[in-house]
């Protein structure tokens, strides 16, 4: 039996189980049926698992698992389908043979440099403030352009791991066989603190570490410059006063002792 024929038989069996409208005469006007095939590999093709999954309104209810060699119900709705298909030898043989297709596709992808491919991430840090009146700063570490998908991100403060205020975003696809990840840190940076985002990935010999240091605010810089100017002006006035004092001492004639004037 062809793959299309098996799929049609499965679909017809599912249609007979679709919930019907009140009175049981007509199927519900709106429903969503989906099927999904997955190949899972462990140590290359040493161990291959094929899953044939079926969904009704986005909920999986029955699947074929090659590790078990049969269909299994995920929910109560899928029990009838699982029992029916497990009794059909043609359907079972067809889906069991899909493991060989998984192995074949693995080889094709390997020859086209998809399997085993490595792309290094680019890591950047960008600070922002959600509320200008808040002392908190949001530091956003973005790792992008990496492959495969597995990646580790960590925030460090003054060389030590920072866990409080850390939030991980969802790994997103870039659409070019690479991914991106954002790790957020909400903190109150102080002058002298050093923050770092550390990223580990299979494409790297050692983790990437990017640092960020807080800059003083405009008001802080203004106060600093005011203090510096005040100190400079004070030194100038002190020098002028000392110069005037020394000059007046030099201009005063020295009086001879009274004994010499008698």
Provide the number of structural domains found in the chain: 2
Place of tokens 């599912």: 14
pLDDT in tens, 83-102: 999 998 988 888 999 899 99
What percent of the chain is modeled with pLDDT above 90?
A: 44
Interval 220-261: pLDDT, tens: 445 555 656 666 666 666 666 666 656 666 555 555 555 545
Give the integer Cα–Cα distance in Å for 82 and 210: 53
Q: With respect to residue 261, please indicate whether it lies within any of the assigned structural domains.
A: no
- Choose the final residue of a domain: 59, 82, 112: 112
% the chain with pLDDT above 70: 69
User: 50 and 106: one domain?
Assistant: yes
3-state secondary structure 133-150: CCCCEEEEEEEEEEECCC
pLDDT at 39: 93
Q: Is residue 237 part of a domain?
A: no
Final residue before a domain boundary, out of 112, 145, 173: 112
The stretch 63-69 carries a mean pLDDT of: 94
Q: Is the pTM of this model over 0.95?
A: no
Closest by Cα among 121, 128, 113, 126 to 199: 121
pLDDT category of residue 186 using cuts at 50, 70 and 90? very high
pLDDT score recorded for residue 43: 83
Non-local CB neighbours of 200 within 8 Å, separated by 6+ positions: 151, 152, 154, 207, 208
What is the pLDDT confidence band of residue 217, given thresholds at 50, 70 and 90?
very low
Q: What is the pLDDT of residues 156-173, one digit of tens each?
A: 999 999 989 999 999 999
Q: Write the CATH number for 184.
A: 2.60.40.10
Asked if pLDDT for residue 44 goes beyond 60, the answer is: yes
CATH number at residue 90: 3.10.320.10
Same domain, 171 and 97: no
Q: What is the pLDDT of residue 91?
A: 87
Can you give the pLDDT at residue 219?
Answer: 44
Domain boundaries, position 206: 122-212
Q: What is the per-residue pLDDT for 26?
A: 54
With cut-offs at 50, 70 and 90, classify the pLDDT of residue 144: very high
């Amino acid at each position: 039996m062809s793959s299309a024929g098996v799929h049609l038989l499965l679909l017809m069996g599912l249609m007979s189980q679709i919930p019907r409208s009140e009175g049981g005469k007509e199927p519900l006007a709106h429903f969503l049926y989906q099927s999904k095939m997955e190949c899972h590999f462990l140590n290359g093709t040493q161990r291959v698992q094929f899953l044939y999954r079926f969904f009704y309104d986005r909920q999986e209810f029955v699947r074929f698992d090659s590790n078990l060699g049969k269909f299994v119900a995920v929910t109560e709705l899928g029990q009838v389908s699982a029992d029916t298909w497990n009794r059909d030898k043609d359907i079972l043989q067809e889906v069991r043979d899909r493991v060989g297709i998984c192995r074949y596709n693995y080889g094709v992808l390997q020859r086209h440099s998809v399997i085993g491919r490595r792309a290094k991430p680019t890591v950047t840090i960008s600070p922002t403030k959600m509320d200008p009146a808040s002392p908190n700063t949001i530091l956003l570490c973005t790792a992008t352009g990496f492959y495969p998908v597995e990646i580790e991100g960590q925030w460090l403060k003054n060389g030590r791991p920072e866990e409080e205020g850390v939030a991980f975003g969802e790994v997103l696809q870039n659409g070019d066989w690479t991914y991106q990840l954002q790790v957020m840190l909400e903190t109150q940076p102080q002058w002298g603190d050093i923050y770092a985002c550390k990223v580990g990935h299979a494409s790297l010999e050692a983790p990437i570490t990017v640092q960020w240091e807080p800059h003083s605010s405009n008001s802080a810089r203004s106060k600093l410059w005011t203090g510096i100017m005040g100190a400079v002006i004070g030194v100038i006035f002190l020098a002028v006063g000392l110069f005037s004092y020394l000059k007046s001492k030099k201009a005063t004639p020295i009086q001879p002792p009274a004994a010499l004037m008698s």
